[in-house]
Amino acid sequence: MTDKRRLLPGLDAPAILREAGKLLDRRVEQPSRRAFLRRGLTLGGLAMLSGCSLSDDESVEKALSAVSRFNDRVQGWIFDPAKLAPTYPESMITRPFPFNAFYGIDEVPQVDEASFRLEVTGLVADKRRWRLDELRAMAQVDQVTRHICVEGWSAIGKWGGVPFADFLKRVGADLSAKYVGFKCADDYYTSIDMPTALHPQTILALTYDGRTLPPEYGFPMKLRMPTKLGYKNPKHIQAIFVTNTYPGGYWEDQGYNWFGGS
């Protein structure tokens, strides 16, 4: 990322508008019409839109949130659980795979495996807590997929673990519930729709690139979904719950789209 700032050639809007304004003044004699045309040249209040005034307006914010919730529903309809994300050969893995979190790499939580227990609550039949080796004892899969960040960049990585659908069935989750929520050791939290939770490529990842998931990539476990943007893929998961009450999320509560994926 860079801080260099330069306009695209041909995009110097203020200069264009100034120039156009001068031309208009020469050609249009009547002052009222001139003023009218000049106002028209602000591109429908381009300046107004760019300022914070409009975005900070509470009613605008509410309207945008309402559209975002509408988009959640639309995305739920578009989602086809049979559509698979592309997979890649291991030679295409991005090395080193970028670390990304809402804090620096030196603040990554260190979870102690010996005392760790995964909590499973909500609409599930079996609420017992899980040790890591019990999860490792279940059938494992791995896949090389593209991780897409909400910022736009992407990177290819290899995650392995338990298909999340297997896990949900094993704990007797209500598979008709709306949401699966996650609470993490770094105080991150997020939630996903049940159809995505049951997608064949959604895995409770315990490994990265064939080795135990390192702390920076989410030890002890991360929910890996190639159909969702990065912020929907929680790391350092400590608790999983199934619910019909909208649980939101760390970034979602600040304005990121809740569905957040493909």
Partner 1 sequence: MMAPPALDQGPAAPQPAIHPRWLRVTHWLNALAVVIMAMSGWRIYNAAPFFDFTFPNGITLGGWLGGALQWHFAGMWLLVANGLIYLALNAASGRLWRKFLPVSPGGVVRDLLAALRGRLSHADPRRYNQVQRVAYLFVMVDIAVLVLSGLVLWKSVQFGLLRDLMGGYEAARRVHFFAMALLAAFVAVHLAMVALVPRSLLTMIRGK
Element (H or E) spanning 22, and its range? helix 13-27
CA distances to 63, 205, 256 from 56, rounded to whole Å, are 12, 39, 16
Question: Mutual orientation of helices 13-27 and 31-40 as an angle, nearest 10°?
Answer: 160
Tell me the torsion sign for CA atoms 246, 76, 160, 218.
negative
The answer to whether 95 contacts partner 1 (rule: CB under 8 A) is no
CA distances to 82, 167, 187, 194 from 138, rounded to whole Å, are 24, 9, 27, 21
What is the closest distance, in whole angstroms, from the C-beta atom of residue 17 to partner 1 in the complex? Answer: 8
What is the closest distance, in whole angstroms, from the C-beta atom of residue 161 to partner 1 in the complex? Answer: 20
* Among residues 76, 87, 121, 146, the one that binds partner 1 under rule CB under 8 A: 146
Residues contacting residue 10 through CB under 8 Å, at least 6 positions apart: none
The answer to whether 227 contacts partner 1 (rule: CB under 8 A) is yes
Residues between 45 and 84 that touch partner 1 (CB under 8 A): 46, 49-50, 52, 55-56, 63-65, 67-68, 71, 75, 78-80, 83-84
What is the closest distance, in whole angstroms, from the C-beta atom of residue 67 to partner 1 in the complex? Answer: 4
Residue with tokens 């939630």: 191
Residues forming contacts to partner 1 in the complex (CB under 8 A) are 1-8, 10-11, 13, 16-17, 19-21, 23-24, 27-28, 37, 40-41, 43-44, 46, 49-50, 52, 55-56, 63-65, 67-68, 71, 75, 78-80, 83-86, 146, 148-154, 226-227, 251, 254-257, 261-262
